[in-house]
Amino acid sequence: MAMKKLSEDLIRQLKEKFFIDLKKVDSFESLEALKILYLGRKGEIRKLFHQLKDIDDIDERKRYGEILNSIVVEIEEILEKEFKRFKKDKEEYSFSLLEMSLPSANFQIGKIHPLQKVYNEIIEIFSYLGFDIQEGPEIEFEDYNFTMLNIPDDHPARDMQDTLYLNLPKTDKGKILLRTHTSPVQIRLMLSKKPPIKSIMPGRVFRNENLDATHSFNFHQVEGLVVDKNIKLSDLKGTLIYFVRLMFYEDIVCKFRQSYFPFTEPSLELDIQCLVCKGSGCSVCKYSGFVEILGCGMVHPQVLYNVGLGYEEYTGFAFGLGVERVTMLKYRIDNMRLFYENDLRFIKQF
């Protein structure tokens, strides 16, 4: 539409043309196009607004502006009613196509995976005890994974049958590997932060294991670290006994056994009463009445020295537990492979 000089006749003609075009609208899309044609940024009414600047008389410019604004409001109200009409017609038409006699679709609703459920519960318990959460990379340096944790070069854990090394150039921190435990996060934390430290390190770890009922090359751990002045073995025992009783049940019997880990001294393992036989002896606990659940101990002075902390001033304790093992004990699951098959019949039980 070629624009003439702004006048009341020109405005009236534009309004009449709008109503003529409105009668031709036969769909939601054509109505949208009509709105853009008249009210869009480059629409017909916008062009008239641009001509207001050519009117020198202020009162005259104001009068034409009010006329144009009233037309915009009128057209918007008309278009809104038409949009509602098309929307209503479309909904009624869509509803008429429904076949109400057909049976509804049977949707499979998933459940929280038992590993995730126990993982969340472990984190919640230690968060309640004041531990913060620290995470680190799954691809790690040999020094952080072994050397700084007081694991010597000839230790069996470094051999290829246990550790998955990556075919990458050796760095100044040793070879690059998939972490075999979440303990490297403890090293990174102690290198970057001075005590007091009270953290847990949840995450996925990797070992060169054959997949069977109780082993996997990929599993999950939650490790914990506390470093401060005057941390004692009794602090470690009290923390872990409290955790076990919240995780399983209040009166569960547990005991500590002496063990060996390169990064703790003394080193202990925590056994809990077998959840299957209640301590009377069965094949699950090998007729001992107890099942090992985690390893722990006081942080070795050499580890504190390796990260630049004064081992005469600071002491600490550390522990590590496998999420899969805890889940298997808690729910009496006898095959780790069930966790990774994603069978809804299994997952729905939890």
Instruction: Pick the more confident residue, 220 or 209.
Output: 220
> Same structural domain for residues 87 and 220?
no
> Same structural domain for residues 329 and 196?
yes
Give the pLDDT score at 157: 72
Looking up residue 177, the CATH number of its domain turns out to be 3.30.930.10
- Which tokens sit at 340? 């990774």
Range of the domain at 83: 8-96
Domain count, the chain: 2
Give the pLDDT score at 241: 94
Task: Assess if residue 103 is contained within a domain.
Answer: no
> Same structural domain for residues 132 and 224?
yes
Task: Assess if residue 225 is contained within a domain.
Answer: yes
Domain boundary at 63, 96, 129, which? Answer: 96
Mean predicted confidence (pLDDT) in 6-21: 81
Task: Assess if residue 109 is contained within a domain.
Answer: no
- Cβ proximity of 171 and 144 under 8 Å: no
Sheet holding 218-228, edge to edge: 132-133, 197-206, 218-228, 315-322, 290-299, 264-273, 254-261
Residue 38 has pLDDT above 50, yes or no: yes
> Same structural domain for residues 120 and 218?
yes
Segment 143-170, tens digit of pLDDT: 999 999 999 888 877 776 688 999 999 9
> Same structural domain for residues 338 and 203?
yes
Residues 6+ apart with CB under 8 A from 323: 115, 118, 119, 122, 202, 219, 220, 221, 222
Average pLDDT, the chain: 86
Residue 1 has pLDDT above 60, yes or no: no
Give the pLDDT score at 96: 53
The DSSP element (H or E) to which 269 belongs, if any, is strand 264-273
Task: Assess if residue 340 is contained within a domain.
Answer: yes
Mean predicted confidence (pLDDT) in 68-92: 77
> Same structural domain for residues 157 and 243?
yes
> Which of 39-53, 93-107, 209-223, 263-277 has the highest average model confidence (pLDDT)?
263-277
Segment 110-141, tens digit of pLDDT: 788 899 999 999 999 999 999 999 999 999 99
Residue 90 has pLDDT above 70, yes or no: no
> Same structural domain for residues 42 and 151?
no
Domain boundary at 96, 126, 153, which? Answer: 96
Segment 278-312, tens digit of pLDDT: 778 877 678 888 888 999 999 999 999 999 998 88
Task: Assess if residue 137 is contained within a domain.
Answer: yes
